[in-house]
Amino acid sequence: MILDEFKLDGRIALITGASRGLGQAMALGLAEAGADIVGLDRSTSDEDTGSKVRALGRRYYNITADLRQTSAADLKSIVAEVETAMGPLHILVNNAGIIRRAPAIEFSEVDWDDVLHINLRSVFFLSQAAARAMLPRGSGKIINIASMLSFQGGIIVPSYTAAKSGLAGLTRALANEWARHGINVNAIAPGYMATDNTAPLRADSARAESILGRIPAERWGTPDDLKGSVVFLASEAAQYLHGAILPVDGGWLTR
């Protein structure tokens, strides 16, 4: 039955930035579909997400790490810790990300490096570490969180645009190499979501009105709007999907 292909019973999913916002919603969506969850966050305590996952009858394990500072070796160790604590890693969701806003002419080296390190560099090396575990098993799902700025240039966010555009290319590049080994690499590109990252936009009445006026759905997205997409991409129902960048944007890109 087709609905059975969406079930994630017995799967282990690692989600970066799982403590709140989009990451928490996706963690809960995967848990609702049957997966056990590992959350990776800077915070030493992630009891909110953990308690909600456990309330669904699933296991939860927290790993504390600052992706601005992790090396490739650190990320390899994180995957090893996941597999020791929880079992074989089946699903990786590269969600953690930051944004820094300033005109390009004034943009600092720190803001450039921090955003690229978390939003792109750590994604590659964590995906590499996960794939090294998945390849011998001949299966795995890697889901990157892209952005509308994987398609567009944006305003006063040069490092974020560079990272998210690079992430779309990286998704396709990894899919080209790993599809034949049974690993699906795809991305979700959220539209304008009501999260901490967009709080400055929503606080600017003129900017918020211009954004909302372009969204055919006539509303900002919510974290729960990503649950269906992440479950689909993590499931057997998406077995023949490789290198896709799936917009979940209320129709933003169609305008």
Q: Which positions are catalytic?
A: 160
Kindly provide the residue ranges of all beta strands, DSSP E only, lying in the chain, ordered along the sequence.
12-16, 36-41, 60-64, 91-94, 140-145, 183-190, 245-248
**Rounded CA separation 234/5 (Å):** 10
**Rounded CA separation 47/50 (Å):** 5
Location of structure tokens 């919510």: 222
Location of structure tokens 């009501």: 194
Both tokens of 206, joined, read: 């003129």
Both tokens of 153, joined, read: 């240039």
Amino acid present at 35: A
| Cβ neighbour number for residue 93 with a 10 Å cutoff | 28
Contact status, residue 55 vs residue 31, Cβ threshold 8 Å: no
At residue 117's C-alpha, the angle toward residues 189 and 123, to 5°, is 50
Dihedral over alpha carbons 250, 251, 253, 255 (to 10 degrees) = -130
**Among 129, 20, 14, residue whose Cα is nearest residue 70:** 129
